[in-house]
């Protein structure tokens, strides 16, 4: 009897790379001529999975976000996992924007991954939701590779990661 093989589908970001990108963006912004003397901030809260941008006006806030995005891309942090919130006014006529960082599949995303696998009607491929990951298993490694190819074609709004490959 052939054993089953499996892999996990999840999403997330490397917070060390996000921290490095925030440091680089902060350094660039403080050295830019158009930001001289202005009170701007980029705060990373790893526990709450958020980035908070603060600037004197929306134009400067957008410029900060563009700089931060370029640094994140350079450090291979998936921008799909960054969900910018509404721009809100803060104290002393400044503006603030909170950017949520998607770390782990939400219940909706996990259901969507499982539904995609089920709708493909792949023989003997099963998807099991386990918290913020989805475990895909099958006795055939070829079927698992077809499942990875199928999921890579889907646009779920987050960057999918495939890992924890196991053969029993």
- Ordered by where they begin, the domains of the chain are 5-11+105-167 (3.30.70.860), 15-101 (3.30.70.990)
Whether the CA torsion 165, 127, 152, 47 is positive or negative: it is negative
The whole-number pLDDT of residue 139 equals 86
The whole-number pLDDT of residue 1 equals 44
CA gap 64, 41 in Å, rounded: 9
How is residue 155 annotated by DSSP? -
pTM: 0.79
User: How confident is the model over 95-115, as a mean pLDDT?
Assistant: 87
Q: Give pLDDT tens digits for 27-83.
A: 999 888 888 888 888 898 888 889 999 888 889 889 999 999 999 999 898 888 888
Going by C-alpha positions, the residue among 154, 166, 167 that lies closest to residue 11 is 154
């Amino acid at each position: 009897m052939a054993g089953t093989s499996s892999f996990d589908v999840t999403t997330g970001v490397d917070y060390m790379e996000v921290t490095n990108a925030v440091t680089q963006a902060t350094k660039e912004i403080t050295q830019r001529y158009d930001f001289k003397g202005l009170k701007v901030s980029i705060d990373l809260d790893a526990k709450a999975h958020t980035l908070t941008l603060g600037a004197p006006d929306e134009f400067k806030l957008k410029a900060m976000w563009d700089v931060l995005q370029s640094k994140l891309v350079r450090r291979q942090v998936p921008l799909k996992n960054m969900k910018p919130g509404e721009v809100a006014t803060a104290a002393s006529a400044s503006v603030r924007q909170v950017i949520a960082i998607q770390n782990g599949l939400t219940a909706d995303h996990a259901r969507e991954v499982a539904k995609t696998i089920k709708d493909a009607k792949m023989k003997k491929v099963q998807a099991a939701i386990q918290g913020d990951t989805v475990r895909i298993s099958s006795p055939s490694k070829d079927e698992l590779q077809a499942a990875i190819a199928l999921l890579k074609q889907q646009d779920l709004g987050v960057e999918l990661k495939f890992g924890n490959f196991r053969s029993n």
